[in-house]
Amino acid sequence: MGYDKGGWSLQKVETSTSKVAKRKNFGGLGLADEEKPPKKYRTSYILWSMEERKRIKDAEPDLAITVVGQKMGKKWSVMTEVERDVWNDAARKDKERWEREVGAYNERVKAYEEGVRDGLNKGGGGAKF
């Protein structure tokens, strides 16, 4: 729930939350509260552009970011598949790393959620009167 300032009064407005956002804190219990899902893998263009941007900025430090982006786009478009293979391999390895990390993260989350659910079902949680 969020609030939207409509006129002179505050009105409740439904806000959508993603599964990741719902999992972020886990209600302040158990699984590391600050643990976040692994960052998504990088594509071959992104990996290449990170290196290329450094080279261009070292050679011409006063270039605007828009000009740097244009230069990188032109260079990438004329690169041959053989030249791109190095970056494609690096991107493939990064994707495999991400898949391993996301699988392990999802297992930890699932184990935590099942543990919390089991604890609540066994009378381990809730208010005591």
pLDDT tens, 20-77? Answer: 444 444 444 455 555 788 999 999 999 999 999 999 999 999 999 999 999 999 999 9
Instruction: Say which residue the tokens 């041959």 belong to.
Output: 80
- How far is residue 127's CA from residue 49's CA, in Å, rounded to a whole number? 55
- On whether the CB atoms of residues 94 and 42 are closer than 8 A, the answer is yes
Kindly list the domain boundaries of the chain, sorted by start residue.
23-121
pLDDT tens, 66-117? Answer: 999 999 999 999 999 999 999 999 999 999 999 999 999 998 888 888 877 6
What superfamily does domain 23-121 belong to in CATH? High mobility group box domain (1.10.30.10)
Verdict on whether the full-model pTM lies above 0.85? no
